[in-house]
Structures are given as structure tokens and as C-alpha cells.
């Protein structure tokens, strides 16, 4: 779902605006559509300076304000626009979209229902309602809304995709696959639909004794994705993960970047659904080791993502740097206003270019995309001051006799043996402070066991 930035005639808009004001508004709206956000913002404000209750300027300034991170103000602006032009279905829809992104699903449902009452023949309103009812776990109602969407706009992928997501969340993987397949048939380069099709197929096969060993349908789904989008980094890497390619020592940069850009909008929500606990586990270790060091350290949050560890690390930091490959993730982290520096870079490269720079380096759920840890741990040692500490999480590989010490799994992440980890840390002259086994998250309802590790540079 995306915020609707296409101008819809405001049926309740008073018609007493001058031609010059309307011209200014239309110019600002065109700038908005073209992506010239700062110029559009100035244009909307210019309209509102001349006419403070202009509903179109209020509405789309709200849309723009939300995209720039101030959602509370955005809601105020759009609500003000609705008060002035209550029959504008697009404003109700966009307010619903903002509220969905804030996980205020009950309020969003009211907005979508109002949009439907105003524009009952618009299929996208039902697709949006399908999404919010899925989040509310009212799956039967969500399915009915999705079916109405595809009835009204059968050639629009959004309704089919939304239905696939509902069936997947409801545990009906066969039906989910059917709707995802229709989505990619309508929109062959729609990456989220391909990704969900592949994941649903993998989940279905993983639950079968025979399918688990072969993953034939999953392999076909990823190959189809590559046929529709040749060279796609996610499909390419996941095919390698399914095949457990022994020479693939880490996830490629383009895979990590594309995957997290793809998930950046819904990342925190997905982790909440998985009962993701790594930041809290990292916090326990930080508090234990550094209780006396508040506010004086140079800290690196490596693979910072949306900044989930930012609130944990900031109290200890005189300077907090976040590094990530994903621009989408960094944009989310920037909105927290916790980091002194946010950098788009590959981690090993960044660490190698900043010798003796940090008192503490943290990798929260980052090293699961590295198989061979030698380079990243060596670079971390070089970037730390003497007596500096590194704290990180890993998924645990129970088979300690695994010759490589790590394994790439069909879900695209690596796990590591404790023996391998200890050897790598010793090789880079780290003193292991603690390695403890914890539950990192749930996957399909089952706990994922991992290691929370802290070590000090000699």
C-alpha cells in the first residue's frame, strides 16, 4: 500500500478560491508528483498563507509531512483538510494509509470504511480495507474486502496481493500461493509478490517430509522470479541458499541492500510479529559490561537497520555512528534523531577504513549474513581502541563437528558453531567475556536459538 499522491477532485471543496490560488496549488501538486518535495512543501505553504483552510494544500502537505517523518503533524493537517472537505474520499484514504503505517489499525479501518461509503466503486479502497483487516486478524472480513477489490479491478495486482497476504497470515498457504501467482502474472516485476510467493512455497514444502528434502517448487518459484526479473539479487542469492553453496562465504552486498530496502517500510512491524528479542538481549550485555561508562564512548552500531539499538546505545555514547547498506533502513534510523552519524557502507570496508576509532562495536542480528567471520572480526579488532568491546548476536549451529563452522540455510541466513566463533575471536586477539545461549525470535512459532557474544580487544 502506498500513499495516494494522485490528485482527486475534492467534491466538498468550496469554489470560492481565486484562479491564482488554484494555479499555485496545482503547481505544488505537480512538483510533489515529480518528487520535488521541498519545492512542493514551499508551494503548499504559499497556498495556505493566502488561504489557510485550502483543503487540497492541507491534505497533500500532510501526505508530504508524513513522508518526511512528522506523522503526528501530518495527521493534524489531513484531519483539518477532511473537516473542510468531508466528502473527499482520497483524503480519508490517505489518512488511513498514514494510520496503517503507524499501526493504528482501528482508526485506519474507520477511514477506509468512510472512503468506501463515499466512493463504493473504487476497488483500491477495498484493497486497503483488506490490508487493515488482516492486521486486525479479522481474516474472513479481510478476504471479503479483497474479493470485492478484485471484482471491481480484476487487472490491478494490489487486490490479488492483499488477498495472498491474508491467506498466508491465516495459515492457508495453498490459497496464498494461488493469489501471489496471479499477482506476478499481472505484474511480473512486482518484487514483493515474488518474494512472498517464494516464501509461502518454501513454508509449504518445509512442512512436508518429501518437500523439505527437495524444495523443488520453491526452486521453481525463485527461477520464475529470475525469468521475470533477470539478475534480481534476492532471487539469485536465495537460489544459492537453497542449494547450500559451500563456496558462498557471505551474503552479497546487493542482496543485503535490496532485501532491506524492500522490507524497510514494514521491518519493525515484522520483527514485532516474530517476538524479536535481540536488541533487549544486547541491552542486557551492555548494561552488565558498561554500567559506569554512560555518555563517554565512541560507539558503532554496525548494520544499524531502522535503529532498534539506537535507544539502547545512545546513553553510553559521546558519539554514536550507525552504518548500514540499505538507504531505506537508514532513512528510518534518521527519523529517530539518535545517531550523530549515519553512513551507507559495507561494514568490513568501513571498519577497515577507521582504525582505532571506537570503544564499542555492536552487531545486532547482522553477522547472520556472514558465513566466514574472519574478515569482519579482524576489521572490528582493528577499529577498536585497546580494551574496546564488541557485542553481537549469531544464530547457533548445533553441529559442532561441521568442518566449516558455519552453514547457509534455505531461509538465507547463516548459523555458526560456538567452537568456530571462539577460534575466530582468539585469532583476532579478542578475550571472550561471555557467550550465552538465548532465544532470538520465533520462526513459524518455534524459538530460534542463538548466541549473544561479548569480547574485549587485548
Residue 398 contacts residue 404 (beta carbons within 8 Å) = no
Can you give the residue ranges of every domain in the chain?
Answer: 19-180, 197-249, 267-457
Which pLDDT tens digit goes with each residue over 115-152? 999 999 999 999 999 999 999 999 999 999 999 999 99
- The confidence score (pLDDT) of residue 277 equals 87
Residue 379 pLDDT grade (very low, low, confident, very high; cuts 50, 70, 90): very high
Which pLDDT tens digit goes with each residue over 252-291? 999 999 888 877 666 566 666 657 889 999 999 999 988 6
Contacts with 2 (C-beta within 8 Å, 6 or more apart), sequence order: 97
- The confidence score (pLDDT) of residue 100 equals 92
- The confidence score (pLDDT) of residue 1 equals 44
Q: Is CATH 3.40.50.150 the right assignment for the domain spanning 267-457?
A: yes
In CATH terms, the superfamily for domain 19-180 is: Tetratricopeptide repeat domain (1.25.40.10)
Q: Given the C-alpha cell 537508514, which residue does it identify?
A: 330
Out of 68-77, 86-95, 231-240, 270-279, pick the least confident.
Answer: 270-279
Give the chain's largest Cα–Cα span: 79
Which pLDDT tens digit goes with each residue over 62-82? 999 998 878 999 999 999 999
* 202 bridge partner residues: none
Residue 31 contacts residue 63 (beta carbons within 8 Å) = no
- Determine the average pLDDT of the residues in 59-63: 94
C-alpha cell at 351: 571498519
Residue 160 contacts residue 150 (beta carbons within 8 Å) = yes
What percent of the chain lies above the pLDDT cut of 90?
75
C-alpha cell at 445: 512459532
* pLDDT for 292 beyond 90: no
- The confidence score (pLDDT) of residue 244 equals 63
Residue 380 φ then ψ, to 5°: -65, -45
Q: What is the mean pLDDT of the chain?
A: 90
Higher pLDDT, 17 or 315: 315
- Determine the average pLDDT of the residues in 396-412: 85
Could you give the count of Cα atoms lying within 13 Å of 301 in the half-sphere of its Cβ? 32
What is the C-alpha separation between 210 and 216, in angstroms, rounded? 10
Higher pLDDT, 35 or 129: 129
Burial class (CB in 10 A: 0-12, 13-18, 19+), 102: middle
Residue 196 pLDDT grade (very low, low, confident, very high; cuts 50, 70, 90): very high
Amino acid at each position: 500500500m502506498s500513499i495516494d499522491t494522485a490528485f482527486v477532485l475534492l467534491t466538498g471543496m468550496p469554489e470560492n478560491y481565486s484562479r491564482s490560488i488554484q494555479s499555485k496549488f496545482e503547481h505544488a501538486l505537480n512538483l510533489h508528483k515529480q518528487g520535488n518535495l521541498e519545492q512542493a512543501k514551499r508551494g503548499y505553504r504559499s497556498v495556505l498563507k493566502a488561504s489557510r483552510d485550502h483543503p487540497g494544500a492541507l491534505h497533500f502537505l500532510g501526505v508530504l509531512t508524513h513522508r518526511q517523518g512528522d506523522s503526528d503533524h501530518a495527521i493534524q493537517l489531513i484531519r483539518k483538510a477532511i473537516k473542510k472537505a468531508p466528502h473527499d474520499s482520497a483524503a480519508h484514504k490517505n489518512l488511513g494509509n498514514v494510520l496503517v503505517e503507524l499501526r493504528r489499525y482501528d482508526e485506519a479501518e474507520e477511514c477506509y470504511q468512510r472512503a468506501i461509503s463515499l466512493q463504493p466503486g473504487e476497488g483500491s479502497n477495498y484493497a486497503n480495507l483488506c490490508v487493515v483487516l488482516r492486521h486486525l486478524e479479522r481474516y474472513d472480513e479481510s478476504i471479503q474486502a479483497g474479493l470485492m477489490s478484485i471484482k471491481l479491478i480484476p487487472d490491478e495486482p494490489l487486490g490479488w496481493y492483499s488477498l495472498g497476504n491474508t491467506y498466508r497470515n491465516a495459515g492457508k498457504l495453498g490459497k496464498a500461493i494461488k493469489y501471489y501467482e496471479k499477482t506476478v502474472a499481472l505484474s511480473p516485476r512486482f518484487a514483493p509478490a515474488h518474494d512472498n510467493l517464494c516464501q509461502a512455497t518454501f513454508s509449504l514444502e518445509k512442512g512436508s517430509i518429501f518437500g523439505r528434502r527437495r524444495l523443488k517448487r520453491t526452486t521453481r518459484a525463485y527461477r520464475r522470479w529470475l525469468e521475470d526479473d533477470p539478475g534480481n539479487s534476492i532471487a539469485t542469492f536465495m537460489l544459492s541458499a537453497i542449494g547450500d553453496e559451500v563456496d558462498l562465504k557471505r551474503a552479497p552486498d546487493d542482496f543485503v541492500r535490496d532485501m532491506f530496502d524492500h522490507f524497510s517500510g514494514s521491518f519493525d512491524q515484522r520483527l514485532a510479529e516474530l517476538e524479536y528479542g535481540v536488541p533487549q538481549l544486547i541491552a542486557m550485555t551492555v548494561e552488565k559490561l558498561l554500567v559506569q561508562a554512560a555518555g563517554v564512548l565512541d560507539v558503532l552500531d554496525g548494520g544499524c537497520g531502522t535503529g532498534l539499538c539506537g535507544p539502547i546505545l545512545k546513553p553510553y555514547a559521546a558519539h554514536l555512528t550507525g552504518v548500514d547498506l540499505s538507504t531505506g533502513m537508514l532513512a528510518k534510523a534518521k527519523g529517530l534523531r539518535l545517531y550523530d552519524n549515519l553512513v551507507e557502507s559495507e561494514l568490513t570496508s568501513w571498519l577497515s577504513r577507521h582504525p582505532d576509532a571506537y570503544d564499542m562495536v555492536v552487531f545486532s542480528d547482522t553477522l547472520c549474513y556472514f558465513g566466514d567471520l574472519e574478515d569482519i572480526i579482524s576489521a572490528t579488532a582493528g577499529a577498536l581502541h585497546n580494551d574496546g568491546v564488541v557485542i553481537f548476536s549469531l544464530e547457533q549451529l548445533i553441529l559442532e563437528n561441521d568442518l566449516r563452522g558455519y552453514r547457509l540455510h534455505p531461509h538465507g541466513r547463516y548459523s555458526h558453531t560456538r567452537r568456530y566463533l571462539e577460534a575466530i575471536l582468539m585469532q583476532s586477539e579478542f578475550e571472550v567475556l561471555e557467550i550465552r545461549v538465548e532465544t532470538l525470535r520465533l520462526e513459524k512459532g518455534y524459538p530460534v536459538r542463538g548466541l549473544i557474544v561479548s569480547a574485549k580487544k587485548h
